[in-house]
Amino acid sequence: MARLWLLLCGVLWICRGSEPPPGHMLPLGSHMEPQLVPRITTVPKPREFHDKYVESSTPVILEGILNSTRLLKTWGDDQYLRERFGGEEVNVEHKKKENRSETGFLTNMADYLDRYEGEDIYMVSPLTPAMQREWLLPQLLLCGGFTQNLIFSYAWFSNGGTKSVLHTDAFDNLHCLVSGVKEFVMIEPSYIDIVGPEHKTQGFYNIDVDK
């Protein structure tokens, strides 16, 4: 019994004397200061966009790319969305923190607009044909190499505080922010093995992004 007691004391001393690593039990990405992503205000030509960013998988922020459109005003207005798309069917998740083991539900845009401010729900839905007609491709995608390989377009819509699982996408993404703030935590492919392949399931990782 004495030996067991001494062993436990030793373990407790080691644990108390060791500092936790940076970011321990904090949200994903808290282990270091963020590295800034380049921002550009001039829309590049398709070839330049491909060579500088797509080919090398380099993230970039295209600042103000929607400023010359009506989208910031119309799609940021709940009443406009209700009048224009109230009857359109949309997919909704039950929680704003993503859980891929759960299934969502179908409703229409008007019902979602009635509920989203007061409930823990999150619209993640393909753009319907009527919605797609209001969006034009930016100049940087107007060439055959891009237009022939567009896979899908989705809308993410909530009252804030949403979180996705850590995941990998099979395709490049172009995110258009209409209102609010969106933060991305990205891991370079050369470091992805550090995350732990044992946590990976069908393109996403079974880890808690909050800690």
Tens of pLDDT, residues 81-90: 999 999 999 9
Structural contact between residues 40 and 61, judged by C-beta atoms closer than 8 angstroms: yes
Question: Tell me, what's the pLDDT at 198?
Answer: 62
Binned at pLDDT 50, 70 and 90, residue 7 comes out as: very low
- Summarize the confidence of residues 161-168 as an average pLDDT: 89
Whether the CB-CB separation of 88 and 111 falls below 8 Å is answered with: no
pLDDT at 2: 38
Spacing of C-alpha 88 from chain mean position = 23
Predicted confidence (pLDDT) per residue in 62-76, tens digit? 999 888 899 999 999
CATH numeric code, 19-205: 2.60.120.650
Strand partners, 39: 61
Which residues pair with residue 91 across a beta bridge?
Answer: 106
Q: Which residue has the higher pLDDT, 197 or 146?
A: 146
Q: Would you state the pLDDT for residue 84?
A: 98
